[in-house]
Amino acid sequence: MNNISFELNNTLSAKTAFTSCGCNRTPSSVHWLQDSQNENQAEEHGGGGLFLYAARNSVAVVLSERNGAPRVISSHSLHKDRVNCVRWLQKSTNSSQLCYFLSGGVDKALCLCKYHRKTREIESVCCFKDSQSSVICCDGLTLKSGQFLLASACGDSYVRIYQPDKDAEKALQSIKFGTGFILSLQLTFISATSVPMLACGGDDAKIHIFIQQAGQFVKAISLHGHEDWIRGLDFTTDDKGDMLLASCSQDCFVRIWRITESPNKVPDPSQNPSGEIKLKENVFVAEVNEKNVTFSVTVETVLYGHEGWVYGIHWHPKVLDASGTSRQPMKLLTASMDKTMIIWQPDADTGVWEERLRVGEVGGNTLGLYGCQFSAGGRTILAHGYHGAFTLWNLTTSSSGDEHWCRGIAVSGHFGDVTDIAWDPEGHFLLSTSFDQTTRLFAPWKETGNWYEMGRPQVHGYDLQCLAMLGRLSFASGADEKVVRVFQCPLNFLENLDKLCDAKISSELHQMKKEGRTMAEGASVPALGLSNKAVFADQPVDMYADKDVQPAANEQYTESSFRPLDLTVPPSEDNLLQNTLWPETQKLYGHGFEIFALAANPQGTILASACKATKPDYAGIILWDTKTWQQITTLYCHSLTVVQMAFSPVSGDRLLSVSRDRTWALHQFDYTSGAVDKLAATDKKTAVHSRIIWSCCWTPDEAFFLTASRDKKVIFWCRNEDSLGGGDQPAGLNGYGACSQATFSQSVTAVGVSYVLDSSRRYLLAAGLENGEITLCSWNKSEGLTQLHVLDTNMAHHLTVRKLIFRPNSNTSEGHTNNVVKLASCGQDHQVKLYDIMLTG
């Protein structure tokens, strides 16, 4: 329930300011709300209203505003595993502020929820868990009685029918499809009646039509024509009253079927005993208002234009004409694995269906589109792809009255576990790394104040584990490889970032010019390469321009060529992939196994790196001089993998490290002599933690440091005079000891302390738990730890929190002057989140 403020013991309040997460890789994981209230909202905001999408185990609600760009306004953790499908339900209620939606997931659950427009809260209504396998797709209808009729297709070869008000535990009817699977289904009413009709498309390349008779769905007909799995179905009714069913398939074809009432036709079972459509026209009978009515089915058209599997299909929503009459535009949207969307429309004179618009991506390393949607009103089209990214296009009108489609801003995010985050030292932007093999940069767009993905500095070939900022214009990252890679911000990206986000980097540019350092214009990735190569202003844009050997026209792995951008809005997905890369400037070799942790001192002059280790010989921490990129020394103080490291935040002269071996170590630097000494360390005898230590951090005044562990404890450490127990201390601790500890309900996987103290001079602490919750606490030496509030799994994360880091104190409008502290978090739920914590005294 994001964007909802909570009062925290009258001392502070918190709200979610930003949520980023990629869309799940399933065809039915996006759905746009189509109702009059949503259309009014679309007109009011100049956008397309609300749409749902599946984000790992949760459902996210997005407000699409064409003038202000879309943003996630609410999310809710509904399932225990990945969500496969979401669907808004149209229901006439007394309150126009209430909407309902369905979601189904790998956890075998089908959930019905309601969304409150005004408060943006999501509330669970009921959940059906009688399936024996994953829910693949779902749909629902609102009956005349106001009750919902729901249908879901599952991996156990069943389609189940539910009616929540009758039985909230199990299905009213289960339809078995042998050993096959239904991959798409759609519920509708037979035209001008209240008789429900169900269409199911499966891996047998047939469309199975069922009609509800006497409370049970009975098979009416099967439609032949497709030659491969059917991946999408959508019903509509034209202005003549005929029903149109659109289907798409992995055979790359789209078919439109016309279903018409034919009172003079009587079906002849002897001509087609199987009930399958073999001829151009076939008929079936349904009981409507206690009378048998005959319907004919014909193939309206077969559309071919996509060169890959067609996964998504959606009819243009109904619109109101000048007289207020509802009419159905004959426009059909399809999306394919060939990375394109097509709008089909019949010719006004001949009636022949034609391709009227094709949009999408050319080149790049994406793998195609899964699903597509028209917005309410039909002036925006949206698709989502394999990499969790959205492609959005808006229909705009020029000053001369001409209409054309333009690429719009879309929400974006990681589609794998987010492993690490790091703030720009000035707090103007945030970097994140993920198992999706990308490093992403998020910043607030100054036009709206909303946060968006402004760059994708690294697109790699290995899962990324960690990162560290080396000043404002450089960072280092570590992945499942033995190399630490260092990146430098290019000039074109820097100019766009400063223009879009007011990042105030002019002083850094001036300093670089003063030192005579040159900046690359951008970066490109060679075919099958892992390194971002620098592109300079005098270098040809075409990477093959000066080469004798040219790539083949159908080359599978193409060069990702950089082209300078002059952005006025946040970059689109294709620009993020290709034109916001940072050039790689260094590779650091020295570790024997995969890099696992990185840290840099506040001055950005020393980088510490550690790798996975199963014995002390490999658990060393290598220190690097970032001016010469030479190794300073290797610190051997642990016996297993070093999980996290943190430099003291002001002086940067102490390095804290924690490990899987349940110990911590503290090293001190002498910047004058260059000496590095072990200041203190725990061992098996002196360790207070009984399980792996996951996280560590410093208080802003460097008086204390914290460790957080799987044993559910957060411990404050300090000098002996403030430590618990007092008296003599073991020699290895050198006067350090535990001065306070707190126990939480779950394993503590991340911990962070704010740079800003509250009104009582207490430290503000955030602890991330294994179940995804974030606990906000205050602490000082005399009073100990006080829990203020728990951000639950809907406001925080629904899987393990990986990192918590408070925004560095800056002079921005969100800084300490307005008593606002910003907290960033990331987790295994693929999400990056920002929270505004308001100190109210």
Angle 316-321-324 from CA coordinates, rounded to 5°? 120
Q: What is the DSSP string of 489-558?
A: --HHHHHHHHHHH----HHHHHHHHHTT----SEEEB-TT--S-EEE-TTS-SSTTTT-SS---TT-SS-
Mean pLDDT score, 292-304: 93
Closest by Cα among 538, 535, 531 to 523: 535
Query: Tell me, what's the pLDDT at 165?
Result: 76
Mean pLDDT score, 547-555: 48
The two structure tokens encoding residue 626: 């970032």
The two structure tokens encoding residue 372: 């597509």
Q: Decide if pLDDT at 813 tops 50.
A: no
Q: Which residues are bridge partners to 73 per DSSP?
A: none
Mean pLDDT score, 242-253: 97
Is-contact 737 723, C-beta < 8 A? yes
pLDDT tier, 558 (very low <50, low <70, confident <90, very high otherwise): very low
Residue linked to tokens 């410093």: 698
Q: Decide if pLDDT at 36 tops 80.
A: no
Percentage, residues of the chain above pLDDT 90: 67
Query: Tell me, what's the pLDDT at 273?
Result: 55
252-266, 419-433, 487-501, 698-712 — which is least confidently predicted? 252-266
Radius of gyration for the alpha carbons in the chain, expressed in angstroms and rounded: 29
Helix (H/G/I), strand (E/B), else coil: 573: helix
Mean pLDDT score, 544-549: 49
Mean pLDDT score, 263-287: 63
Which amino acid, 581? L
pLDDT tier, 364 (very low <50, low <70, confident <90, very high otherwise): low
Neighbours of 413 (CB within 10 A): 26
Neighbours of 387 (CB within 10 A): 23
Local structure of residue 560 (DSSP, 8 states): B
Query: Tell me, what's the pLDDT at 541?
Result: 52
Mean pLDDT score, 645-650: 96
Q: What is the DSSP string of 610-638?
A: EE--SSGGG-PEEEEETTTTEEEEEE---
Q: Decide if pLDDT at 491 tops 80.
A: yes
Query: Tell me, what's the pLDDT at 815?
Result: 42
SS3 of 201-260: the string is EECCCCEEEEEEECCEEEEEEEECCCCCCEEEEEEEECCCCCEEEEEEECCCEEEEEEEE
Q: Decide if pLDDT at 348 tops 60.
A: yes
Mean pLDDT score, 674-697: 94
The two structure tokens encoding residue 469: 């900022």
Contacts of 604 (CB under 8 A, 6+ apart): 425, 469, 470, 471, 474, 626
Mean pLDDT score, 628-655: 96
Query: Tell me, what's the pLDDT at 8?
Result: 39
CA 756 vs. chain centroid, Å, equals 30
Phi and psi torsions of 247, nearest 5°: -135, 145
51-55, 317-321, 349-353, 506-510 — which is least confidently predicted? 506-510
Q: How far apart, in whole angstroms, are the C-alpha atoms of residue 470 and residue 442? A: 17
Is-contact 611 596, C-beta < 8 A? yes
Residue linked to tokens 């952005």: 567
Q: What is the DSSP string of 423-443?
A: E-TTSS-EEEEETTSEEEEEE
Q: How far apart, in whole angstroms, are the C-alpha atoms of residue 362 and residue 829? A: 30
Of the CA atoms within 13 Å of residue 113, those in its CB half-sphere come to: 29
Angle 517-522-525 from CA coordinates, rounded to 5°? 125
Give the pLDDT confidence of 6-22 residue by residue, as tens digits. Answer: 333 446 788 999 999 99
Query: Tell me, what's the pLDDT at 94?
Result: 46
pLDDT tier, 467 (very low <50, low <70, confident <90, very high otherwise): very high
Give the pLDDT confidence of 702-757 residue by residue, as tens digits. Answer: 999 999 999 999 999 998 754 555 555 676 788 899 999 999 999 999 999 998 77
Mean pLDDT score, 101-130: 93
Neighbours of 209 (CB within 10 A): 24
Is-contact 42 101, C-beta < 8 A? no
Q: How far apart, in whole angstroms, are the C-alpha atoms of residue 733 and residue 729? A: 7
pLDDT tier, 1 (very low <50, low <70, confident <90, very high otherwise): very low
Is-contact 421 826, C-beta < 8 A? yes
Q: Decide if pLDDT at 810 tops 60.
A: no
139-148, 424-433, 495-504 — which is least confidently predicted? 495-504
Mean pLDDT score, 500-515: 75
Between 811 and 48, the higher pLDDT residue = 48
Phi and psi torsions of 506, nearest 5°: -60, -35
Q: Give me the sheet containing 207-213, strands edge to edge.
A: 182-189, 196-202, 207-213, 216-223, 276-277
The two structure tokens encoding residue 639: 């016996």
Is-contact 638 619, C-beta < 8 A? yes
Helix (H/G/I), strand (E/B), else coil: 43: helix
* Entry pTM: 0.91
Q: How far apart, in whole angstroms, are the C-alpha atoms of residue 804 and residue 441? A: 16
The two structure tokens encoding residue 39: 């259309």
Alpha helices in 18-156 (DSSP H): 36-45
Angle 220-374-314 from CA coordinates, rounded to 5°? 25
Query: Tell me, what's the pLDDT at 555?
Result: 46
Q: Are strands 216-223 and 276-277 parallel, antiparallel or unpaired?
A: parallel
Q: How far apart, in whole angstroms, are the C-alpha atoms of residue 89 and residue 372? A: 18
Helices (H) and strands (E) counted in the chain, each on its own, are 4, 63
Would the CA dihedral through 573, 574, 577, 580 be positive or negative? negative
Q: Decide if pLDDT at 155 tops 80.
A: yes
Query: Tell me, what's the pLDDT at 812?
Result: 42
Q: How far apart, in whole angstroms, are the C-alpha atoms of residue 267 and residue 707? A: 76
Residue 576 belongs to what H/E stretch?
A: helix 573-579
Q: Decide if pLDDT at 787 tops 80.
A: yes
pLDDT tier, 67 (very low <50, low <70, confident <90, very high otherwise): low
Per 3-state DSSP, the chain is made up of helix, strand and coil in percentages (nearest 5) of 5, 50, 45
**Mean confidence (pLDDT) of the chain:** 87
Closest by Cα among 323, 320, 395, 309 to 359: 395
